[in-house]
Chains A and B, each alone.
Chain A
């Protein structure tokens, strides 16, 4: 059984106004070089651990930040390194996230990435309207999106995703429909359409607090969500997750691993992993006291403990590039903290993540994994949610109704252990 591998590149040319990801603007070439060096060290350390011995990498996802903020040579070195340290499965899905504003006109970066093994590219597009792109703090225009997609095809990419956003300040349903049709005209195999989440700590959040973020009315946002399903569906991109649409055969295999709650290894600063440990994972935290400013992921209520062999362990790396690099330069894994999931927690997360997908949670797969039927664990909850019209059980799966997809949180929280 293979594993999904994620590599985090925390660099951006400019931070978008809605973004709360672990990414930083203003890092120069030397700093990028130092970071990639650290990433290679981390690969080496993991390659030597029992969890990765004989475990093929079935999907690779290079995300960020903006991986294409790296120069072509670094990018190429990084992708090739994966094949050198790990057993990259033949036919593995290798996705590269890209910002249309970071793709050079000659397409050199994309050529090098494709040549090194990348076979899927995901562009952050967001909207067609220039006023929206500016308002979001994007560094590119709609015309540059078109050029970047053309360059990707030119480089050899045929599996192309476009990220879109809706529910943006002042955005109208008509504008979003225009964006959808325009995006389809670029012939992607996959589209992610996200309803804007105003995250704490972002400029958007501050604007909202100050009453200066004129989000569209509820009905308009609802219309946009429905338009996405309808327009993309009509063009052959079927919804398969809350925010994801794909042509048949082009679902993102890497992300399916997350939603099926299967093992993944995340490398790079702040990256998260979830896998069954075969050797202790201790000596957590920052490398030296001077670096302890790195903040704990999520909130401080997460009960963290070193991992023991056999643990179904979720853990995350030190968040800032500086702390992350310091640990690796000291010769140790840059894991900040982690938690062992108990069975109730893992079952809950399997339901929560699985119900994000249109296909839902396979009852057979659940029973095989946990040795108990979905009914024996969640019978009452499922009955109530079915009665409320949020969920159905059919064809051997538990899945959300279209209404449930809009009210997912109401469903998911019911699976959390008390």
Chain B
């Protein structure tokens, strides 16, 4: 059993690209956990997608041994945190598992919005924060400026800030020393009833769900019968592990330690982040604070391009759900797209990541319908309804009012882009909250924004209006009433369920026009004229016509042309087969995605 005095549990808070993974690798390397040969670049980011996007989706952990300058032998647990706004709750749980955090800031970039949000969260959890100015080897590094920013914005003491370069290895030892001397040791009671917090899990096809936890009080041993207090699951611990960095079996773990367990848990949904593990025959009186159930915020329809891929899509979603309990899905049918699934995600990035994994890891081709948030509808009969699918939108005459989710957004930007960014927020129905100068050059803008308004290319707009310098973070801030309507798209007079979307009434016309014009360009000419319309209820708000196809013929075909011309016709037929029939109109896949990329800025 480890002596708590020598345990240090810490995490790294950093913006994307500020070098978190590389820094973690250097720490692992320095403590000699892995030889150079074993040192796969960036050990902590395991998924291909995570590496490509430079973000961490699953929290990884590693346990390191370190003999400090004081001659003492320390046990360092580094808990990596998910790196995106969609996973704020998961981040909060990972932070709660630590006593300290390294605040890593790029020496040439300064603090970004997301870092700031996470630092505030870490401060709320009373974490000891050690500022690390990273990438000091870069030519445009300005560590002094970044230090000043940290001091002014967060109010941290930067006199002990460590200058580091994960690339060259500078500052690595100083970081390890600082973790030992500055981060307080855990102070749990190893003899009290077991209280361990789940901060992540993943599914292993042999062992079932592997649960990651941090013990606050008590001791757990192999063979113990445990209970998960929120989900109610009970079972026996088959294996206990620590992270070195791969799972290494141990016999017991106690207060202050970080580890994982396998207990033949089949369903990842039983293992909820934030839940408390206790012993079944000597349970804790109450769970650890801060647990809440993750609820999907963004919904979209996912349909296989090839209709007979439906079962493969279901199996793929089931597999992903094994590892990610926050994905929800249920069967959905669309007249135009056939059989698919209505899927719920924590946020947009989460949605993107899942979709990309489905396409890449499972080789599925998918059509995604326009994502929407969950609306709360107050009906005239006094009842309330949560709507996560435009198809389920009630008859407008029965709607008393509609509420939509809103977020509190923080944007950090160089001062010169404040104007364009405020314009963007106003345009997205934002309410200005306040603005602070982090330094004479950098501004932190705070807005309340409808969640729906940041779903369509908000991030891209933010980047393009600030030349890539602005950063953005948000937290959910409840529901607010808004003038929201359902807009239908009619192709050849028939409403197409998969193209319906929920919009703000004042923007309906602009969005409708942009969408209709986009569809006109995407839908090839048919044998007859095809009107494309946008409508709210019975009222047409935008219309364009696709003129009838008048000529499609190979002018020349003799003996020498047959093989080649047949190939051309086969290709044409193949293209036609891949289209979806909407009534008698053939609509290409891309048309259903048009909504995804249509912003009202287009016209």
Contact = CB atoms under 8 A, between A and B. Distances in A.
Interface of A: 4, 6, 194-197, 218, 221-222, 225, 242-243, 255, 257-258, 264, 266, 270-274, 297-299, 301-302, 314, 316, 339, 348-349, 352-353, 356, 388, 390, 405-410, 412-414, 416
Interface stretch (B70-78, B221-229, B558-566): B558-566
Contact of B552 (A272, A302, A409): A409
Contacts of B555: 194-197, 242-243
15 contacts: A222-B551, A258-B562, A272-B562, A274-B562, A299-B564, A302-B563, A314-B563, A353-B557, A353-B562, A407-B527, A407-B552, A407-B553, A408-B552, A408-B553, A410-B549
Nearest to B563: A298
A409 B562 contact: no
B312 interface: no
A406 B551 contact: yes
B577 to A, nearest CB: 8
Interface string B536-572: 0000000000000111111111111011101101101
A120 to B, nearest CB: 15
B75 to A, nearest CB: 61
A124 B556 CA distance: 14
Interface in B551-603: 551-560, 562-564, 566-567, 569-570, 572-573, 576
Nearest to A272: B560
Contacts of A197: 554-556
Contacts of A298: 563-564, 567
A405 B553 CA distance: 7
A308 B557 CA distance: 27
Nearest to A405: B553
A412 B558 CA distance: 15
Contacts of A405: 553
A194 B558 CA distance: 13
Contact of B563 (A6, A225, A243, A272): A272
Contacts of B552: 406-410
Interface in B375-391: none
Contacts of B567: 298-299, 301-302
Nearest to A410: B552
Given A264-B559, A390-B527, A409-B569, 18 more contacts: A4-B559, A195-B553, A196-B555, A197-B554, A197-B556, A218-B550, A222-B550, A242-B555, A258-B557, A272-B562, A299-B564, A299-B567, A301-B567, A339-B563, A356-B557, A407-B553, A409-B572, A413-B570
Contacts of B558: 255, 258
Nearest to A297: B563
A314 B566 CA distance: 13
Contact of B556 (A218, A243, A299, A302): A243
A225 B553 CA distance: 12
B550 A406 contact: yes
B553 A316 contact: no
Nearest to A338: B563
| CB-based closest 7 A-B pairs | A408-B553, A413-B573, A298-B564, A272-B560, A413-B569, A195-B555, A409-B552
Nearest to B558: A258
A257 B553 CA distance: 20
Interface string B444-479: 000000000000000000000000000000000000
Contacts of A194: 555-556
A6 B560 CA distance: 10
Interface centre among B550, B551, B564, B567 (most CB of A within 10 A): B551
Interface string B342-385: 00000000000000000000000000000000000000000000
Contact of A416 (B549, B550, B570): B570
A252 to B, nearest CB: 10
B563 A316 contact: yes
Contacts of A299: 564, 567
B551 A407 contact: yes
Nearest to A261: B562
A87 B522 CA distance: 57
A307 to B, nearest CB: 14
B527 A410 contact: yes
B150 to A, nearest CB: 54
A409 B576 contact: no
B562 A349 contact: yes
A299 B549 CA distance: 28
Contact of B569 (A221, A352, A390): A352
Given A194-B555, A408-B553, A416 B560 contact: no
Contact of B560 (A271, A339, A349, A388): A271
B122 to A, nearest CB: 56
Contacts of A406: 550-553
Given A352-B569, A407-B527, A242 B553 contact: yes
Interface string B516-527: 000000000001
B551 A218 contact: yes
B569 to A, nearest CB: 5
Contacts of A388: 527
Contacts of B554: 197, 242, 408-409
Contacts of B556: 194, 197, 243
Interface centre among B558, B572, B573 (most CB of A within 10 A): B558
A8 to B, nearest CB: 8
A416 B573 contact: yes
A255 B569 CA distance: 21
B530 to A, nearest CB: 14
Interface centre among B552, B563, B569, B570 (most CB of A within 10 A): B563
A352 B566 contact: yes
A302 B553 CA distance: 22
B376 to A, nearest CB: 47
A255 B553 CA distance: 18
Contacts of A412: 569
A406 B562 CA distance: 19
A412 B562 CA distance: 12
A413 B572 contact: yes
A310 B441 CA distance: 84
A211 B198 CA distance: 61
A409 B575 CA distance: 13
Contacts of B551: 195, 218, 221-222, 225, 406-407
B575 to A, nearest CB: 10
B559 A266 contact: yes
A172 to B, nearest CB: 18
A127 B562 CA distance: 27
B346 to A, nearest CB: 42
Contacts of A6: 559-560
Contacts of A196: 555
A40 B90 CA distance: 81
A343 to B, nearest CB: 15
Contacts of B562: 258, 272, 274, 314, 349, 353
Nearest to B561: A272
Given A195-B555, A409-B572, A416 B563 contact: no
A173 to B, nearest CB: 15
A242 B527 CA distance: 19
A197 B550 CA distance: 16
B570 to A, nearest CB: 6
A218 B548 CA distance: 12
Given A222-B550, A298-B567, A272 B559 contact: yes
A159 to B, nearest CB: 18
Interface centre among B557, B560, B564, B570 (most CB of A within 10 A): B560
Contacts of A414: 573
Contacts of B576: 413
B574 to A, nearest CB: 9
Contacts of B570: 413, 416
Nearest to A301: B567
